[in-house]
Amino acid sequence: MTHSPNGSLSTGCLGWRSDASHFGQGPAIAHVEVFATIPSYTGAAHGLFYEYINPNVFAQNQTGTFDNAGHFSLRAPGYFDVDVAVTREFRLAERFTLQARGEAFNALNHPNFGAPNATLSSSTFGQIRNARDPRILQALMKLIF
């Protein structure tokens, strides 16, 4: 097993080469849209189980008053991804080479959820209603001449 210049691993097992990349990131920040102000934090009890952000702890500000919720107080889930590829070249003739490649994106099929709805006036405030792509597999062959 050797390291290639781009940081990936390469193995020479029966002529196959493999590459893997990992990407991870901490929680993203969800911006609250409340007429250019941040809502007030009330500290109320939590609501339903599918709410990522408890909507009961935020309230619309009274006209002419300031908020008490800190900036960046709403955070989205983090992101984790592992991509894997295997490649092999088959020499067909002096001028012809067939390259076979298989790739797996999000190879571990780790769920990566989107950001929660951060519009305070929405009925889905605090809920995550989407996710990024699941595992995607693809295979290809290329004739090089």
Distance of alpha carbon 34 from alpha carbon 8, whole angstroms: 45
Enter the DSSP assignment of 116.
P
Distance of alpha carbon 83 from alpha carbon 141, whole angstroms: 19
Distance of alpha carbon 96 from alpha carbon 28, whole angstroms: 48
Distance of alpha carbon 39 from alpha carbon 32, whole angstroms: 8
Where residue 123 falls among pLDDT bands split at 50, 70, 90? confident
* Residue ranges per structural domain of the chain: 2-144
The per-residue pLDDT for range 12-59, each reduced to its tens digit, is 567 888 888 887 777 665 544 443 344 555 554 454 556 788 787 888
* 113 CB-side CA count, 13 A: 16
Distance of alpha carbon 143 from alpha carbon 145, whole angstroms: 7
The per-residue pLDDT for range 88-112, each reduced to its tens digit, is 999 998 899 999 999 999 999 998 8
